[in-house]
Structure 1
């Protein structure tokens, strides 16, 4: 475990040009994966099993590029492993491979993206701690990984699968969401299906009976999205209403109580929801006007409302009106705005927020800059600060001969407090209040950040 924990309520890097470049993101237990608009793949956080895919097992507290290709279509972060699909329809995996999670027929961990099979018609993949579900372009459903406890793969057995295995013969699967012990999916006709563990009523069909094969939930044909958390499900209809079911001890169902249920029940009366997200212990939703809401567990600021108080109703997060996507891992959240900017918040024990620190938790959404460097660039451009801490001047030394174009100093509220232009190697910080700051240096067209302490 990391030792020092710095609780930071307001920790926003200042926004710079070219900071809005993110296409998609996915959060896991202790890591974050994200794809830029240029098709490159980036990762940060815990890396014990190589789940970041950068060829190492070293944790990263800033987003680092995974490989050098720029053809990634989508990525899904599992417990300690990652699955992704490229634009050409190929399936890739890396990280922990216990129980055949990677689908390559072995139990050997992979430190870099490894192609799974030869198929070129994969449409999407959804993974969680123990199971992987995927849909091909022809609408067929496939699964692999752990299945021995709950039958969450849906193949009618409790046998683990080490390679992608087709589930049934249907060719009309549209979307699928893999939870820790159960799976939910939607067909092209708008019907909702579930299978696996239903001990806590997470299917929402009025009972608590498990199923080893997909079963239809209710008769509605207007389901737009359905997501599986741990022991709960949240679903969105095409008419803009939201429903939830399952465990509710922390308020994750958003109905204003802590009572669990086994029937899909509408959350509130609003009919202007446009998208939903889910975590292990919480639920997230975005309205048509771009406002963001969350409920459930709030450990280390998981919900992003500036507190650690659990919420049993969907509570608005901040005042922004341009959110378009949000998803929670186990203890941290990632979200995208309509301007393609990426924000993270919550626990940061392993650097999963990508803000350049370990254990600097964020209780509100924190911007993640697009100026993260590739692996080669990080090695090529680095600088040191001394003395640090300082009470007067701060000296800057580069490992190479980069010319400084601009130096900016940001405090922990995200406020720009000092700025210098030109190729200088020393700045006077004696007039700054004591505390922790970020120094951001523009050089060679890149921005790199470090922390320093003014005492």
Structure 2
């Protein structure tokens, strides 16, 4: 199915026959990685820390990162690459400074993927430059690397935590975001936002005099938050109705001021958004109509609107209405893709970040530039393979089964069907990431179909065996 999707995508995008299409294209601020039609990972950009699987300083054209073909999803930091296999194991390569790879070794870099513990239930990774946060399918929260600002959610502060350690004991975490300033956030299954780490600039609690929060602490008690992204000194978060909100300080908040907010969250605009991201001092989002917007500090033109004027409100980048994704990192290179499969970059291309074959390019690009020869499979055509995930454990099951999901589309219902198409279990769900325990005592032994749906549309499905 994956190969067929990629083949059909390459025909419909109108690109040249030499363009290589990649599924689930991810950008870490310095390098890009995507999955080819045969399941292997390819990437380009900075490889100084060996995060592309090579020992070269940079790779201005796509290179194969690894020969394995059973990767499920992957996540990029500025100097690291993490990937989860179909069997739920976690692997990493690149910089291991301060133990950021969680390998229990002081070796500084790894050019090949290394297994990170023997656990088989990793769900999502949020890499920062010097530490890493992660979610497991059982709803637990984990971290490793530097803990000088209590980024890992425990005291005392230490320079490095070499192996993954659980953050608290709660089992209802569904979303997380590590920040460039050591400020972290996570969302629980009830839709509330929690935070920990640095509060030096009141990023966690506007107006609070507390410098650090050592454990996850309730930040916003509203129960309709579904996504969050922590930037430099600003935070963006999205509600289940698609609206976008911000707090922190500086132009990247997008609310018309650089003065630190005195309230936890302020709505950016009355519009709804389908994608958003935060950089060090910029923010970007794609509205529901497919238009791309940017805001924040713009002294080098990093907003991408062709100027060097700081933008305190969102400004539209170009006039296109078919933008699909946008991603930023800790540095001044930015990537976006369109639904026609084209890939665009702006900002710095000094180490081949654009993937267009140019290296040591001193030009600072003020508007999105097309990268020829590569294409991105749009989110809407990626199917159930990689961009979405549904895990059932245990499976087969007797008494109960836990459902964990990671989606790209807002769900409304979790429904279990028997082989005759009859509904045997149904519950309302919300949020792109979540988990739920389902009792099975009343079900007869046999095969069932577990589905996550948006009303009548099935987003993802998986077979369940009841013993």
Fold shared per TM-score above 0.5: yes
Aligned residue pairs total: 355
> Is the contact between residue 22 and residue 341 of structure 1 (CA under 8 Å) also seen in structure 2?
no
In terms of Rg, which structure is larger? 1
> Is the contact between residue 24 and residue 336 of structure 1 (CA under 8 Å) also seen in structure 2?
no
1:82 offset after TM fit, Å? 2.0
SS at match of 1:252: helix
> Is the contact between residue 200 and residue 208 of structure 1 (CA under 8 Å) also seen in structure 2?
no
Change (3 A) 1:43 1:174: same
1:200 offset after TM fit, Å? 1.1
Change (3 A) 1:118 1:145: same
| 1:79-228 alignment runs, 5 A limit | 79-108=78-107, 109-148=109-148, 150-159=149-158, 160-180=160-180, 181-204=182-205, 206-209=207-210, 210-228=212-230
TM-score scaled by structure 1?
A: 0.73
Please name the residue that 1:22 is paired with. Answer: 22
Range that drifts further, 236-245 or 118-127: 236-245
The alignment's C-alpha RMSD in Å is: 2.2
| 1:176-325 alignment runs, 5 A limit | 176-180=176-180, 181-204=182-205, 206-209=207-210, 210-248=212-250, 251-298=251-298, 300-325=300-325
Please name the residue that 2:366 is paired with. Answer: 363
Change (3 A) 1:362 1:16: farther
TM-score scaled by structure 2?
A: 0.71
1:276 offset after TM fit, Å? 1.4
Cα distance in 2 for residues equivalent to 1:371 and 1:278: 24
Please name the residue that 1:383 is paired with. Answer: none
Higher relative contact order (CA 8 A, sep 6+): 1
Residue-by-residue CA offset, 1:347-380 (whole Å, 9 max, x unaligned):
11111111211214432222334559xxxxxxxx
Cα distance in 1 for residues equivalent to 2:76 and 2:346: 17
Change (3 A) 1:195 1:74: same
SS at match of 2:98: helix
Please name the residue that 2:450 is paired with. Answer: none
> Is the contact between residue 240 and residue 270 of structure 1 (CA under 8 Å) also seen in structure 2?
no
| 1:401-420 alignment runs, 5 A limit | none
> Is the contact between residue 220 and residue 264 of structure 2 (CA under 8 Å) also seen in structure 1?
no
1:187 offset after TM fit, Å? 1.2
Residue-by-residue CA offset, 1:208-231 (whole Å, 9 max, x unaligned):
522011111121000011111112
SS at match of 1:99: helix
Cα distance in 2 for residues equivalent to 1:299 and 1:349: 18
Residue-by-residue CA offset, 1:222-261 (whole Å, 9 max, x unaligned):
001111111221111112221111220xx11111122122
Change (3 A) 1:67 1:269: closer
> Is the contact between residue 20 and residue 341 of structure 1 (CA under 8 Å) also seen in structure 2?
no
1:18 offset after TM fit, Å? 6.8
User: Gaps (5+ residues) in structure 2?
Assistant: 1-13, 376-467
Residue-by-residue CA offset, 1:174-224 (whole Å, 9 max, x unaligned):
111111211111111111111100111212455252201111112100001
Cα distance in 1 for residues equivalent to 2:281 and 2:342: 25
